[in-house]
Amino acid sequence: MFTNKETFKKVFCNRLEMLSGKSFSESTSRDHYNTLGSLVREYISSNWIQTNEKYRSSKQKQVYYLSIEFLLGRLLGNNLINLGINQIVEEGLLELGIDIKNIEEAEADAGLGNGGLGRLAACFLDSLASLNLPGHGCGIRYKHGLFDQKIIEGYQVEYPEQWLRHGNVWEIRKSDQAAEISFWGEVESFYHEGKLKFRHVNAEKITAVPYDIPVIGYGTESVNTLQLWNAEPSPFPHNKNILEYKRETEAVSEFLYPDDTHDDGKILRLKQQYFLVSASLQSILRNYKSTHGSLEDLHNGVAIHINDTHPVLAVPELMRILMDEEGMGWYEAWQVTTKTISYTNHTTLSEALEKWPIYIFKPLLPRIFMIVEEINERFCKELWKLYPGDWNRIENMAVIAHGVVKMAHLAIVGSYSVNGVAKLHSEILKKREMKLFYEVYPDKFNNKTNGITHRRWLLKANPQLAALLTETIGNDWIYEPKSLLELKNYRYDPTILERLYDVKISRKEILAKRILAQTGIKVDPYSIFDVQVKRLHEYKRQLLNVLHIMYLYNRMKEDSSFTFHPRTFIFGAKASPGYYYAKKIIKLINSVAEKVNSDKQTSEFLKVIFIENYRVSIAEDIFPAADVSEQISTASKEASGTGNMKFMMNGALTIGTLDGANIEIKDAVGDENIFTFGLKAEEVLHYYQNGGYYSNEYYYHDKRISKVLEQLINGHFPETEGDFEAIYDSLLTQNDQYFVLRDFASYVAAQEQVNDAYQDRSKWLEKSLLNIAHSGYFSSDRTIREYAKHIWKIDS
């Protein structure tokens, strides 16, 4: 149906009438979207079936990537490109008078994630499929993804997201593969053939129904699967008010938790975690048994990867199934489990390390808790042998201590591989955060620097740049992104550099149009687009960026001869609804924007834009338009970052701290092609350990700082009385835990370098080109190859 335009047009029009029940002239973009989506799904269905057949018959080792988040964004455009049918479709539609852009806009983002962690999972799925590797995602089919953000009078207001409102063409409900999940109840012991056994009784059961979404690789025939679980009532609930039961059940897959670092200790959150894990494991083991029979060699046929600790109950759940349902003894089950499960750590922020109070955990998951207790006891006994008498150490390493279960400890003990997500982060894990575990298990620890799929973030998001690259160096880079290095040969080629400039301007014009439509503000595509888009967090230091803008504005007001290359500062960020301080920073950005944008004296030079509801589909318009990438986290706090890689790949230059993958970006492009500043991770960690930082000193000694901080509380922003006192206090009274003032001067200096560098156009373009050239390393294809080879052992 996609072999040529004529056939496509005919099939499309027929299907459109059939699906929408409307004539062509009455049909809407949504009808077109549903039609095209259903045709694509039909087109890949035999490949999907054959892939599954092949995996079954060849008994090839399968990888299952368990993640509480998958931040997929839109699927249509990506699928068309990966299938190589985008051109026929686009041209065919055009002949029917339809702009494919409008169809793509009709698709809701699948926003089943908060930020980097969920987007990483989505990039990994794309790379697994594109590299023809047998890897699948396991997640939750949240009815509502991350909240929709509106900015009202400068404040963030949240609305429930409704991506499923108009259905989802990509998913297939597989009710015959449902699984039962048990909560509450008690554990009973009994003897069977002389062995002590346990069973979970009086449990409240809910049903998990899988919805399969095809994962289509680029230029490959294999189609992998993302399986998302939906929570539904069991047909036979036990003695409970039926309405209450239904509501409680459906709540399990109703909302994505809108917070990527704090764990607010809700029972529902733990329920979600066990729901995901239990349903996925039941499904994985059912498939495995149907091809392999017994489970003793599970690790030869299956690798289970847990994305952060949210799915770490996979460890005790696998133990439970192997012992209680398959009859294995503890030792054997432990061997199988710890050879099957591997774990990625995503953060060292202590508030983000999951800890569950026993009083919540034990009643909800009584059998699982029992197994965790046993894991803990045996682990502590091992430690006792290694460190006899060292109570302190054992207490610090225990899986259960002081009334809580430490999920990261469970993950390290129960898995065969523990990886960080950038070199610095992995080193901090080994040398500090998990030092005691590293001493016991040196071989488990390794690094896998994050990556992003260059297909979505370059080929799809920036077709203008992709075309220029292909014309210049051929299209090898699409299959082998390291080939982008060939671009280096053109670093002094004025024609190529000027074309790179034209591409950038054209993308800035597209974003400018969008900004105008959304905010009514006209931004100049010839100004420097300086962009910070990411979740709003104190450690990411959007505040440092805003304070710098306030300083620039002040200086212009004081000294009319002070000018610089016009700059458009662009922000996009969602704050967790309960994160009071983060929401005040959003308000501050918007207050500064209002002041600056409405000032005729400065507006030629300075504009500040807050793009609301930052998400994957908007990101695809932002990264290609950026000149400057703001990656200014407090060193040691950002485990890797992936936004930094998307910017780089689209030719933006980074202004950043030596944190996360910024360091590796610097190593790749060289010091001349990045702007670094600020404290190093070691210095930050040294301050935390030894004290010695007094933010007041910076306030008193730097007039730029004192002026800006006073403006937070002195009525400078008239309509915001009291809004920014919390910010003022955190910087001065609470001694600025994220070293914003400490790094201020060095940030200002780095920004001056950015301004100076932009004056030399060909030099800037050369830097931009070199960033693109070196971005191949940061493709998730490279990352996934490393996981496949070193962790999952599926690279045969």
Ligand X SMILES: *Cc1c(COP(=O)(O)O)cnc(C)c1O
Amino acid at 4: N
Specify the stretch interacting with ligand X by CB under 6 A; choose among 20-28, 511-519, 641-649, 722-730: 641-649
**Joined tokens for residue 555:** 């200086």
Alpha-carbon span 593 to 604, nearest angstrom:
14
User: Judged by CB under 6 A, does residue 67 bind ligand X?
Assistant: no
**Is 406 part of the annotated catalytic residue set?**
no
- Of 456, 537, 540, 637, which one is the catalytic site residue? 540
Alpha-carbon span 410 to 422, nearest angstrom:
22
Binds ligand X by CB under 6 A, chosen from 37, 77, 92, 115: 115
Question: Which residue lies nearer to ligand X by CB, 162 or 300?
Answer: 162
Question: Which residue lies nearer to ligand X by CB, 317 or 638?
Answer: 638
- 3-state per-residue secondary structure call for 722-757: CCCHHHHHHHCCCCCCCCHHHHHHHHHHHHHHHHHH
Nearby residues of 717 by Cβ (< 8 Å), 6 or more positions away: 591, 592, 595, 711, 723, 724
CB 65 within 8 Å of CB 341: no
Specify the stretch interacting with ligand X by CB under 6 A; choose among 12-20, 112-120, 174-182, 308-316: 112-120
Question: Which residue lies nearer to ligand X by CB, 115 or 154?
Answer: 115
User: Judged by CB under 6 A, does residue 346 bind ligand X?
Assistant: no
Question: Which residue lies nearer to ligand X by CB, 119 or 742?
Answer: 119
Specify the stretch interacting with ligand X by CB under 6 A; choose among 152-160, 642-650, 712-720, 738-746: 642-650
CB 667 within 8 Å of CB 768: no
**Is 540 part of the annotated catalytic residue set?**
yes
Question: Which residue lies nearer to ligand X by CB, 80 or 110?
Answer: 110
Instruction: Output the smallest distance, CB 220 to ligand X, in A.
Output: 24
Widest pairwise Cα distance in the chain? 91
Instruction: Output the smallest distance, CB 300 to ligand X, in A.
Output: 35
Binds ligand X by CB under 6 A, chosen from 37, 77, 92, 116: 116
What values do phi and psi take at 795, rounded to 5? -90, 15
Amino acid at 2: F
Question: Which residue lies nearer to ligand X by CB, 169 or 616?
Answer: 616
**Is 22 part of the annotated catalytic residue set?**
no
Instruction: Output the smallest distance, CB 119 to ligand X, in A.
Output: 4
CB 90 within 8 Å of CB 100: yes
What values do phi and psi take at 415, rounded to 5? -125, 165
Specify the stretch interacting with ligand X by CB under 6 A; choose among 113-121, 138-146, 160-168, 768-776: 113-121
**Joined tokens for residue 357:** 């109070």
Concatenating the DSSP letter of every residue in 222-275 gives: -EEEEEEEEEEE-SS--SS-HHHHHHHHHHTTTB--S-SS-----HHHHHHHHH
User: Judged by CB under 6 A, does residue 139 bind ligand X?
Assistant: no
User: Judged by CB under 6 A, does residue 642 bind ligand X?
Assistant: yes
Specify the stretch interacting with ligand X by CB under 6 A; choose among 55-63, 503-511, 615-623, 781-789: 615-623
Instruction: Output the smallest distance, CB 780 to ligand X, in A.
Output: 11
Instruction: Output the smallest distance, CB 131 to ligand X, in A.
Output: 20
- Of 41, 299, 320, 535, which one is the catalytic site residue? 535
User: Judged by CB under 6 A, does residue 454 bind ligand X?
Assistant: no
User: Judged by CB under 6 A, does residue 619 bind ligand X?
Assistant: yes
Alpha-carbon span 733 to 203, nearest angstrom:
51
Alpha-carbon span 535 to 227, nearest angstrom:
26
User: Judged by CB under 6 A, does residue 77 bind ligand X?
Assistant: no
Sign of CA pseudo-dihedral 11, 17, 18, 19 = positive
- Of 646, 742, 767, 782, which one is the catalytic site residue? 646
Question: Which residue lies nearer to ligand X by CB, 129 or 533?
Answer: 533
> Which residue is closest to ligand X by CB?
643
Specify the stretch interacting with ligand X by CB under 6 A; choose among 115-123, 235-243, 707-715, 774-782: 115-123
Find where tokens 């072999």 sit. 3
Q: CA 621, 626, 628: angle at the middle one, nearest 5?
A: 155
Instruction: Output the smallest distance, CB 261 to ligand X, in A.
Output: 11
Instruction: Output the smallest distance, CB 619 to ligand X, in A.
Output: 4
**Is 381 part of the annotated catalytic residue set?**
no
Count, residues near ligand X per rule CB under 6 A? 12
Alpha-carbon span 518 to 570, nearest angstrom:
13
Instruction: Output the smallest distance, CB 597 to ligand X, in A.
Output: 25
What values do phi and psi take at 313, rounded to 5? -65, -5
- Taking the C-alpha atoms of 114, 40, 779 and 311 in order, what is their torsion angle to the nearest 10 degrees? 40
**Joined tokens for residue 152:** 């009202």
759 CB-contact burial (10 Å; exposed 0-12 / middle 13-18 / buried 19+): exposed
**Is 793 part of the annotated catalytic residue set?**
no
User: Judged by CB under 6 A, does residue 643 bind ligand X?
Assistant: yes
Binds ligand X by CB under 6 A, chosen from 74, 119, 305, 567: 119
- Of 305, 346, 595, 767, which one is the catalytic site residue? 346
User: Judged by CB under 6 A, does residue 615 bind ligand X?
Assistant: yes
For ligand X, the binding residues in 531-590 under the rule CB under 6 A are: 534-535
Question: Which residue lies nearer to ligand X by CB, 454 or 646?
Answer: 646
Instruction: Output the smallest distance, CB 73 to ligand X, in A.
Output: 7
Concatenating the DSSP letter of every residue in 400-461 gives: EETTEEEHHHHHHHH-SEEEESSHHHHHHIIIIITHHHHHH-TTTEEE----B-HIIIIIIT
CB 104 within 8 Å of CB 460: no
- Of 338, 340, 348, 642, which one is the catalytic site residue? 642
Specify the stretch interacting with ligand X by CB under 6 A; choose among 230-238, 263-271, 562-570, 639-647: 639-647
CA atoms within 13 A on the CB side of 521: 24
**Is 774 part of the annotated catalytic residue set?**
no
Question: Which residue lies nearer to ligand X by CB, 37 or 643?
Answer: 643
What values do phi and psi take at 587, rounded to 5? -60, -40
Question: Which residue lies nearer to ligand X by CB, 535 or 567?
Answer: 535
- Round the CA-based radius of gyration of the chain to a whole number and report it: 27
Question: Which residue lies nearer to ligand X by CB, 352 or 436?
Answer: 352
Binds ligand X by CB under 6 A, chosen from 302, 413, 497, 616: 616
For ligand X, the binding residues in 497-536 under the rule CB under 6 A are: 534-535
788 CB-contact burial (10 Å; exposed 0-12 / middle 13-18 / buried 19+): buried
User: Judged by CB under 6 A, does residue 451 bind ligand X?
Assistant: no
Question: Which residue lies nearer to ligand X by CB, 282 or 629?
Answer: 629
User: Judged by CB under 6 A, does residue 641 bind ligand X?
Assistant: yes
- Of 430, 460, 534, 774, which one is the catalytic site residue? 534
What are the residues binding ligand X (CB under 6 A)?
A: 115-116, 119, 534-535, 615-616, 619, 641-643, 646
Q: What residues are labeled active site?
A: 346, 534-535, 540, 642, 646
